[in-house]
């Protein structure tokens, strides 16, 4: 692969959009109802610890992606199955994000359109963008992200005008007790979406200024966590904890209640465009991470064919991974996030850091 460069601000924009991505669509902490706004707060705190681990590994092995540093940490032969697991994780997670986007579009604005057409069209766009490498994705993030955030702020202001808006919907805080909340929030609130920022380790070597690695990582977690917390507070204040718990697209439901002087309505189209942008960051991050990983694992000099191959896998995988959206959500939050995410995004990185620390001490 040719050596490309991405600026600090481009990577920050890309990764904050990545954190918001599908978390905006799915909502966080539905099972704890009015305490859902605390979910991203707990996730933010845990995410900072994880990001400290990710960035320390990248500092130990500067110039290496996650795929390149794993053999140096655990050895050549042990590394192959682990690297393969991470590539599968990135690929499957990209497919899950595509499925969430497809179901959102089919259930809202394009009800007669087959979901495969929506996901297939989206992946053609991804091929066009990612085929040009990380620089193109970085420039895209630099253009799209400020518009995304501006739109989000406008929507928050509009939600304040909704007649049903009631900040008391957030009470009682921790009504079921701290222990009950903790059991539901840990580790899920850390794993999704903050633990998924492990993919940033695939991008650090492309930074023009590598001494800013830790700062960029921390900014990503803090700003992403703050934005998710504010958004969750706004949505619960509008729809209430009961609707928030049972509706799969609660942000969209909240915005559909906006009506300014019975004249300005139907802002849900803006929300859907925002969600498409967010999923673009998410799928782009995961797919690019898998593409870079495969190219480095097999020493490929060009990655366009890898991107095309991944797109042909991700599209059908997003459809066969679950028979319905309900099953898709259950697989995600009852199996994939608690177990696979915990292994790949928490346990293994901690293990890698411990081994790397010992190796560095021995080398000294």
Cα separations in angstroms, 290 against 8, 185, 233, 333: 21, 28, 34, 22
Cβ atoms within 10 Å, residue 52:
15
Average pLDDT over residues 310-335: 92
Q: Encode pLDDT of 108-153 as tens digits.
A: 888 899 999 999 999 999 988 888 788 989 999 999 999 999 999 9
pLDDT on residue 309: 93
Quick check: 159 pLDDT over 50?
Answer: yes
Query: What mean pLDDT is predicted for residues 149-164?
Result: 92
pLDDT-derived band at 264 (thresholds 50, 70, 90) equals low
pLDDT computed for residue 272 by the predictor = 87
Alpha carbon distance 334, 161 (integer Å)? 36
- pTM for the model stands at 0.94
Q: What is the pLDDT of residue 12?
A: 96
**Residues 251-264: what's their mean pLDDT?**
80
Q: What is the pLDDT of residue 210?
A: 81
State pLDDT tens for residues 181-240. 999 999 999 999 999 999 999 999 999 888 889 999 999 999 999 999 999 999 999 999
User: What per-residue confidence (pLDDT) applies to 4?
Assistant: 78
Bond from prior residue into 213 cis (ω within 30 degrees of 0)? no
Q: What is the pLDDT of residue 1?
A: 46
Domain ranges in the chain are 8-363
Quick one: CATH architecture of 8-363? Up-down Bundle (1.20)
Percent of the chain with pLDDT over 90: 72
What pLDDT does 364 receive? 67
pLDDT at res. 227: 96
pLDDT one-digit tens code per residue, 285-318 = 999 999 999 999 999 877 788 999 999 999 999 9
CA distances from residue 128 to 29, 228, 300 in whole angstroms, order as listed: 35, 29, 19
Residue 270: pLDDT band (50, 70, 90) is: confident
Between the alpha carbon of residue 304 and those of residues 3, 95, 134, 312, the distances in Å are 14, 19, 12, 13
- Of 90 and 247, more confident: 90
∠ at Cα 358 (203, 83), nearest 5°? 40
User: What are the tens digits of pLDDT across the range 348-362?
Assistant: 999 999 999 999 888
Average pLDDT, the chain: 91
């Amino acid at each position: 692969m040719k050596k490309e460069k991405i600026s600090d601000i481009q990577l920050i924009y890309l990764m904050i959009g990545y954190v918001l991505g599908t978390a905006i669509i799915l909502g966080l902490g539905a099972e704890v109802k009015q305490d859902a706004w605390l979910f991203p707060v707990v996730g933010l705190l845990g995410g900072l610890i994880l990001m400290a681990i990710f960035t320390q590994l990248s500092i130990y092995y500067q110039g290496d992606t996650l795929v390149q540093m794993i053999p140096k940490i655990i050895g050549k032969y042990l590394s192959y199955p682990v690297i393969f697991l991470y590539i599968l994780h990135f690929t499957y997670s990209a497919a899950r994000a595509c499925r969430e986007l497809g179901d959102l579009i089919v259930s809202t604005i394009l009800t007669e359109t087959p979901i495969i057409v929506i996901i297939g069209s989206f992946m053609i766009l991804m091929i066009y963008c990612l085929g040009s490498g990380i620089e193109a994705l970085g420039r895209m993030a630099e253009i799209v992200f400020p518009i995304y955030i501006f739109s989000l702020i406008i929507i928050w202001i509009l939600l304040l005008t909704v007649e049903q808006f009631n900040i008391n919907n957030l009470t009682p805080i921790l009504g079921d007790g701290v222990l009950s909340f903790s059991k539901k929030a840990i580790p899920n609130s850390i794993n999704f979406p903050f633990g998924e920022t492990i993919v940033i380790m695939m991008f650090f070597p492309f930074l023009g200024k590598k001494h800013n690695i830790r700062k960029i990582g921390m900014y990503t977690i803090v700003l992403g966590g703050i934005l998710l917390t504010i958004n969750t507070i706004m949505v619960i204040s509008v729809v209430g904890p009961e609707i928030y718990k049972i509706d799969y697209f609660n942000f969209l439901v909240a915005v559909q209640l906006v009506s300014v002087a019975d004249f300005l309505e139907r802002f849900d189209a803006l929300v859907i465009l925002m969600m498409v942008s967010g999923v673009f960051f998410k799928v782009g991050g995961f797919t690019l991470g898998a593409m870079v990983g495969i190219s480095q694992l097999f020493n490929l000099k060009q990655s366009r064919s890898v991107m095309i191959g991944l797109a042909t896998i991700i599209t059908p995988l997003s459809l066969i991974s679950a028979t319905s959206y309900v099953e898709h959500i259950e697989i995600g939050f009852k199996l994939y996030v608690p177990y696979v995410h915990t292994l790949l995004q928490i346990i293994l990185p901690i293990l890698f850091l411990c081994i790397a620390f010992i190796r560095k001490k021995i080398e000294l």
